Structure 1
């Protein structure tokens, strides 16, 4: 039998949050990654731990496993803290820059993780578009950044972030396991003119479609509200999943494409000492599997 900490963390998050979607938001993971972690734990134990209901609840076995899982995760955190104290824990303030989608969909989970793993490091977040984030990292406004598809170099891959179709739940294609962007050609298409537009344009090109959005909306919340109102459909990345209200669905999209989200420091000057500690900590964070 091989039970690991990510499985136990996912199980605890579902119990505490009351469901897989809420647990995914709490952990900074995709819902499918949480489901996979819990299912793999159940396979190892050869029995279900959760009743898949709303809210999710433990089975009799799950109730017995729960206190042991809490102790195991707590012990792992204690070991990490002891090691940090023995080696001289990092301290200081790190200014982290990221795009709005990453800030809203991924950064909260990272901040919670860092607060537990690096309690003496204070992370301050700066939100900007892709060009602003890169500029801030270059000119010293930010000490670190989560960059989208950066050139190869030092850094930690946080997630391979796939693109998805965002549709109203009553859309004719909302029940499909996957949506081909060609099937959305008759829908009004909405777009947020930021770093994602080039990639969404590429998806259209791969499908042989002309990229001709009906509306361009800068604010992500406004874009989501317009889809809710039935004004049109759009394409968002998987990291946005925690922001999607229940009357919308985020579905796999064809042609398939993705982007890399990488935590890194500046390329032209030494990194703040605490950045390396944050990067090493983030390397084991569940967001990497999103």
Structure 2
């Protein structure tokens, strides 16, 4: 008579899913144990139990520790399940009238992290003292994926199309040329994009490239960057070194070294930074609260 493991009948526990995610995020059993406050043997035992439940190996137990193909396939579902469980607990507490102190994870692109986030963090701390916002800084192509697989509870997306239901626009910024202060065009009120063609174009791939492509299309120009650079700070360092010019959003102003300046670009192109929760599962109640604070703050400033 075939015997069944009790774990197979019950399915995975939240703790087992937490262990899988911690191993994936922190790169090993020991690091996962430290984060979760468990012994390493307990982490290993729980993972083995989870592997029996799913009837497959989830982690290669050799250095460096990494997920198997099955582990990679199940990881997004583990993240989404844990995110849903966190939201469930907070919603239940809210129904009892309790403001439970709990964190939410927010993903932001680099320019928003520098130019927009500090003031928002102060606002959220004042209005929602029980909500802890943990920041995950990433590039545009990562943010949407993190949001939908449960890595984060909310994200600031740039020009999402379509705008997700319930989302709120946090800011709209305009593209500028970033040039050295001794550049011949640095003192202009605005610069036509075509007038920058004499300089090598340095382009950031950290989220702005689609808009820079569109800017060239609006101007009837071919998009031909001399260099494509991932890190915004590296791009600005190269402009400072006289290696070219770049088109960047105005929020980049907070990152500029003294030797550089921003000049509005023509044709004008705006981008919209939108705060949203996931589209494939209910929002965490505290994400809704953070969104409402932002929306009310914007209305009060416009009144």
Same-fold status (TM-score > 0.5): yes
* Partner residue of 1:177 out of 189, 202, 210: 189
Once the two structures are TM-superposed, the CA of residue 202 in structure 1 deviates from its matched residue by: 1.3
**2:113 alignment partner, SS class:** helix
Cα distance change on mapping 1:272 and 1:140 into 2, 3 Å: same
Residue of structure 2 equivalent to 1:222: 234
Pick from 99, 102, 109 the counterpart of residue 99 of structure 1.
109
**Alpha-carbon distance in 1 for matches of 2:100, 2:194:** 51
Provide the C-alpha distance between the structure 2 equivalents of 1:258 and 1:205, rounded to a whole number of angstroms: 14
Matched with 1:243 is: 255
Q: How does 1:37-116 map to 2 (within 5 A)?
A: 89=99, 91-116=101-126
Counterpart contact for 2:206–2:231, Cα < 8 Å: no
1:284 Cα offset (Å): 3.9
Deviation of 1:271 after TM superposition, in Å, equals 0.9
Query: Structure 1 pair 88/101, CA: closer, same or farther in 2 (3 Å)?
Result: same
**Are 1:192 and 2:204 matched, yes or no?**
yes
Q: Hey, what's the Cα distance between the residues in 2 that align with 1:275 and 1:250?
A: 34
Cα deviation, residue 277, structure 1: 1.2
Report what 1:36 is aligned to. none
2:167 aligned residue: 155
Aligned to 1:233: 245
Where structure 2 has 5 or more consecutive residues not aligned to the other structure, the ranges are 1-96
TM-score (norm 2): 0.63
Q: Using CA pairs below 8 Å that are at least 6 residues apart, which structure has the higher relative contact order?
A: 1
Q: Superposition RMSD on alpha carbons, in Å? A: 2.1
Cα distance change, pair 99–178 in 1 and its aligned pair in 2 (3 A): same
Q: Aligned pairs, how many? A: 204
Residues 1:235 and 1:285: Cα distance change in structure 2 (over 3 Å) = farther
TM-score by length of 1: 0.66
1:194 Cα deviation from its structure 2 partner: 3.3
Distance across 2 between alignment mates of 1:278 and 1:91: 14
Where structure 1 has 5 or more consecutive residues not aligned to the other structure, the ranges are: 1-86
SS of residue in 2 equivalent to 1:174: coil
Supply the distance in 2 between the matched residues of 1:288 and 1:226 (Cα, whole angstroms): 40
2:202/2:228 contact within 8 Å kept: yes
| Aligned equivalents of 1:163, 1:205: Cα separation in 2 | 14
Q: Deviations over 1:163-215 (max 9, x none)?
A: 11101111111111111111001001101123311210111122121111111
1:142 matched residue in structure 2? 152
Deviations along 1:236-277, one digit per CA (max 9) or x if unpaired, are 101211111222111111011111111111111111111111
Partner SS, residue 279 of structure 2: coil
Q: Is the CA contact 2:180–2:259 (under 8 Å) kept in the aligned structure 1?
A: yes
Distance 1:133 1:246 in 2: 31
Over alpha carbons, which structure has the higher Rg?
2
Q: 1:266 aligns with which of 270, 278, 295?
A: 278
- In structure 2, the partner of 1:8 is none
CA distance in 2, matches of 1:226, 1:177: 23
